[in-house]
Structure 1
Amino acid sequence: MGELSRWSLKVSRDTDIALRTLLASRGGRKGDLSRFVEEAVNREILRETIHEVRARNKDLGPAQIESLVDEALSEMAPGFWAGRRV
């Protein structure tokens, strides 16, 4: 997880009970609540990023998008494979 930050959150009692019940049904252990919150935040950030990218590229056709993806991949590929054994 890297360096940790401490958050102080307030949620409704119903939400607290529902989440703790869910985590307990999965065999919850110490740290599961923090992990759940972090994963939920990361999913929401990913959803928002996808929404922004789609909005930004709504006027591009499939061929243009594929060309941009191919260009980005060709720029990254040499650095990605450098120093790796195949």
Structure 2
Amino acid sequence: MTEAIRWTIKVSQDTDRALRGFLGAQGMKKGDLSKFVEDAVRWRMLDRTVQVVKDRNQDIAPDLLEAMIDEATREVRAEMRRQGQ
């Protein structure tokens, strides 16, 4: 973590106890709560992004979608090779 920003958040007492119990059982310390929250936020953002992409592409035929992914992958790999030279 580079420069930390302080958040003030509220959670229920049940969530607080459950999370602190979980972290304690994992051998984590007090400062690990911030790391856990940051990791959870990142995972949730990724999950929502994936869901948006799935929803957006649900009407595309699987074969066409796979071809589009393959083409994009080829383009990215070619660009990476050019940059590596």
**TM-score, normalised via structure 1 length:** 0.83
Equivalent residue runs for 1:63-74 within 5 Å: 63-74=63-74
Higher RCO (Cα < 8 Å, 6 or more apart): 1
Structure 1: segments with no counterpart, 5+ residues: none
SS at match of 1:51: helix
1:56 alignment partner in structure 2: 56
Comparing both structures, which one devotes a greater share of its residues to helix? 2
Identity %: 45
Equivalent residue runs for 1:1-86 within 5 Å: 1-81=1-81, 82-83=83-84
Distance 1:64 1:36, change over 3 A: same
Give the number of equivalent residue pairs: 84
Alignment RMSD: 1.8
1:80, 1:27 → 2: CA distance? 41
2:37, 2:80 → 1: CA distance? 31
Distance 1:3 1:70, change over 3 A: farther
Distance 1:19 1:54, change over 3 A: same
Deviation at 1:31, TM superposition (A): 2.4
